Chain A
Amino acid sequence: MTIMTKMKGAATAFSFAALMSVGGASLASAEDVTLTMAVPDWPPTRIMKKFFDEQYKPKSGNTVKLEVDFIPWPDFYTRVNASLTSGEQKYNFIVSDSQWLGAFVEGGYFRKINDLLDADPDFMATFKTIHPNPLNAYSTYPHKTENYYGFPQFPDVLVNFARADIICHDEEQKNFQAKYGKKLPCTGEELDAMTWDDFKNVGEFFQRKKGDMLAGKPAEDDFYGIAFQAGKGYDFSSMQINGFIWQMGGDTWDETKAPQGQAEGVVNSPAAVEALTKYLDLIQYMPPVAKTGTMDIFVSDQLFREGKVAMNIDWIGLGEASLAADSKVKDKLVFGQMPGTMGADGKMIRWSNIGGQPFVLTTWTTESQTKEAVDFVKWWLSNDIQHQFAAGGGQSAVKAVYEDPKYVTYRPWNRAWAPQLEWQKDVWHVPQFFELLTQQQDQFDLAITGKQDAKTTLDNIAKFQQDKLKEVGLIE
């Protein structure tokens, strides 16, 4: 009797445990394939989901469902990181920031796709028509080797958002000419030709107090000339500062030169210090929130949409918001390339940090899921869909698409897209990315809020990177 009770208890416990472990597995038959995807919640991913639901017909004849978790941007990394590292194996597809590749490839979460490309010449051909700069940034780990992991979901670059109604106003034009002996940039081409010095002039020129004249009317509120990212969160200053440093002949720690490439002496080189000083010098002309260290890409975008600044450097991905119904500037916009630095030979140097995201496959994705996923990616990267994506507010890094004359007509900022692709670089894809980034953002924040100068800042960053990377063997 007692033995029976015990055995019953044990049997119940076992069946309970068995039930628990079965409950977690998905029940997929050959005909029904579900792809689960984690994406940031913004227009480029919403459009993708819409296209999939409305247009996608799998070639295999299976019923393919795309289940998308739309996660708000500020939570995105934390949520994805938690999902991956907890081992719940929930997602087949993840829209990943390019710099996360190292951390998640080394952790064994992201699937290498070389075998898929080799097995499918069509796919390889499509893949190779992606511009090499985004391809390297989004796909390769170690950086710039032929080890592929991702496909571009939404490629992104920094562009200059400007207020045509302000900068093209006759009186402002006249006054600017009188003050600086140069024409105030007004058209897209004139914006393209801007250097950071011109940008600084715009900042200085358009500092208006409430009630001062602005474009022929008294300003309703304080008005500022310029804005760009200078925030402490995530990468909201590094992405802008890197462009300054590269344009002015400095460098960041170069992962492709590991383990010989050093951080000390490179990161804090005189050219880099000069570049950072130039960046910091512009903060004074920006809306005062910059002095608190919270001017991230969303804050500067909001200030621009609320009509408080004349020019804002921000990601193309936020362009759609400036045209939205609640934007106060939606019918007054002109776009140009991010300002550059004039080289000694009179040619413009335009290096900039690439934005945008690849999507990657995870290692636990089954064979049938992988097959459907590859079919979906091929469809996604096909010219027709890429054109539709661009027309709906996305961007394409596929050569045949962005070189099409139609491309620039889709959105006003598209004219700045293709020429800038040539000038995109990316920073560290190494697993230590987050440690390097957090320390650097903290240091930049001290400089932005006026607590320390450019030299000290870069010295501190260089020392930290040197120690950290030496510890893990990426610097000899």
Chain B
Amino acid sequence: MTTTAQFLPAPPLFSPVAHNWKLAILAGLVVSAVAIVLFPAKLSLGVAGAMAALIAAAFTVNAYRRRYYGGLLVAPAIAVLFVMNIFPLLWSLGLSFFAYQSNNQSIRFVGLNNYIKVLTNDIAAPANWDALINTGMFVVFTVALQMITGFLLAMLFAKQFPLRKYLLILVLTPMMLSVVASGVFFSYYYDPTFGILSYVMGEITGNQFILMDNKLGAVAGIVFTDAWMWAPFVMLLVLAGLVSVPKYLYEAAAIDRVSKPRQFWTITFPYIRGLLMLALLFRTIEAFKLYDLVYILIRGGQDTKTIAYLITEIANEQNKTSEGAALSYVILFMVIVLTNLYLYLANRRNKGA
């Protein structure tokens, strides 16, 4: 029974059987194209939607008849992913090749012009490069600070001490707060009139202290807030690695009188290296998207505009949709290259070790 089902022959292209997905795709494309030409936008969208449903139905029947149940089980997830994620992604990629502003219903194909503009235009490009350099700076500083603090915190919490459980909850709290809440909290914290930071610094130095009146201070403020929120995340990952190290390895090392630093490098580190890499990857990708704190704390002032901030300005406020899309894809490309570089280096090290 299974054999016949699994070797169900592919039907000829024009055979009207329910599992003929090739025919469904062909029919869907033809009908949609005709609908787009003949009907108003709303109706043709409905027709195209119906055709997509038809194709999906054909695929489902096909999978069912071939007993391909695994595929059937993941299909709903893939459908949601496609509708919510992949389709908008492809749509915006398409938009980046058109001159399109969302508040103006005209659209025109311009090829690579948007990409050329965001990279070379004498007004747009310098702002983009500036924002890119700022983003790079934030990525390096925030990730470095989070990794170091998170790692040290994990080393601390790997040991047993009184009140450890409660302190751990306290340290993890910032990660669970919304970014906006933390941002507003820190904007008061840094405020020169109401804030405690300026108050304490003023008492110590006797001069008025304004953290955010220069770029260094503004960057420090943002980096600190970001690290405050996300160092616990790194800590959590590293801590998971630390507690998984078998105790007997340390006991054996102690018997062999291996020094503490050597114990760390030869026993502990190999266990947490993968998790550290993972934390680094997550935080780097996130850091590339830094927008909220820059907006809440300083409104992109003191030359702190990041690329995400700039894209929001261009695409959301100024409605230059396709230009924003082009810039986004440039960044996406960079992030993909960078993460792959990470993974490549990590794997090479693994093999070397």
Contacts and interface: CB of A to CB of B under 8 A. Distances in A.
B205 to A, nearest CB: 14
B103 A85 contact: yes
Interface stretch (B42-50, B271-279, B325-333): B42-50
A17 B47 contact: yes
Interface string A440-454: 001001000111000
A5 B61 contact: yes
A291 interface: yes
A463 B318 CA distance: 19
Interface string A1-42: 011011001101110111011000000000000000000000
A231 B317 contact: no
B193 A17 contact: no
Contacts of A58: none
Interface string B275-314: 0000000000000000000000011111100000000010
Nearest to B103: A107
Main secondary structure of the interface of A (DSSP, over half): helix
A464 B299 contact: no
Given A17-B46, A222-B193, A287-B193, A3 B16 contact: yes
A170 to B, nearest CB: 28
A257 to B, nearest CB: 24
Given A6-B17, A9-B54, A18 B46 contact: yes
Given A16-B53, A292-B192, A464 B123 contact: yes
A177 interface: no
A108 B105 contact: yes
B315 to A, nearest CB: 10
B318 A434 contact: yes
Interface in A277-293: 287-289, 291-293
Contact of A107 (B61, B104, B193, B213): B104
A17 B50 contact: yes
Interface string B1-41: 00000000000000011100000000000000000000000
B49 to A, nearest CB: 5
A467 B18 CA distance: 60
B103 A16 contact: no
Interface residues of A, number: 53
A435 interface: yes
Interface in B204-240: 208, 210-213, 218
A9 B61 contact: yes
Contacts of A451: 303
A13 B105 contact: no
Contacts of B46: 17-18, 20-21
A294 B298 contact: yes
B105 A107 contact: yes
Contacts of B198: 288
A383 B102 CA distance: 40
A177 to B, nearest CB: 29
B245 interface: no
B133 to A, nearest CB: 16
Contact of A287 (B192, B213, B299, B300): B192
A431 B194 CA distance: 39
Contacts of B213: 288, 291-292, 449-450
Contacts of B299: 231-233, 293-294, 445
B70 to A, nearest CB: 22
A308 interface: yes
B113 interface: no
Contacts of B210: 288-289, 291-292
Given A3-B16, A17-B46, A106 B104 contact: yes
B319 A9 contact: no
Contacts of B313: 438
A288 B54 CA distance: 64
Interface string A221-250: 110000000011100000000000000000
A292 B212 contact: yes
Given A294-B212, A294-B298, A288 B103 contact: no
B49 A20 contact: yes
A104 interface: yes
A100 B105 CA distance: 17
Contacts of B18: 2, 5-6, 9
Given A77-B317, A81-B317, A288-B210, A293 B302 contact: yes
B57 interface: yes
A445 B301 contact: yes
Contacts of B58: 6, 9
A113 interface: no
Q: Which of B103, B105, B187 has the most CB of A within 10 A?
A: B103
Interface residues of B, number: 43
A467 B168 CA distance: 57
Contacts of A2: 16-18
B104 A289 contact: no
A9 B61 CA distance: 10
Given A231-B299, A292-B210, A464-B123, A10 B105 contact: no
B316 interface: yes
A434 B104 CA distance: 14
Contacts of B218: 292
Contacts of B47: 17
Please indicate which of the listed interface residues B47, B198, B213 has the most CB atoms of chain A within 10 Å of its own CB.
Answer: B213
A10 B42 CA distance: 19
A303 interface: yes
Contacts of A292: 192, 210-213, 218, 298, 301-302
A88 to B, nearest CB: 12
Interface in B309-350: 313, 316-320
A334 interface: no
A377 interface: no
A82 interface: yes
Contacts of A82: 316
A84 interface: yes
A293 B301 contact: yes
A215 interface: no
A373 B141 CA distance: 54
A385 interface: no
Contacts of A55: none
Nearest to A86: B102
A85 B313 CA distance: 15
A78 interface: yes
Contacts of B17: 2, 6
Nearest to A299: B191
Interface in B101-132: 102-105, 123
A17 B104 contact: no
A449 B104 contact: no
A267 B345 CA distance: 54
A438 B314 CA distance: 10
Nearest to A436: B318
6 contacts: A12-B53, A17-B49, A291-B192, A292-B212, A292-B302, A450-B213
Interface of B: 16-18, 42, 46-47, 49-51, 53-54, 57-58, 61, 102-105, 123, 187, 191-194, 198, 208, 210-213, 218, 298-303, 313, 316-320
Closest 4 CB pairs of A and B: A13-B53, A288-B192, A85-B102, A293-B301
Given A10-B54, A107-B103, 14 more contacts: A9-B61, A10-B57, A12-B57, A13-B57, A78-B316, A81-B317, A107-B105, A232-B298, A292-B298, A293-B299, A431-B103, A434-B317, A434-B319, A435-B320
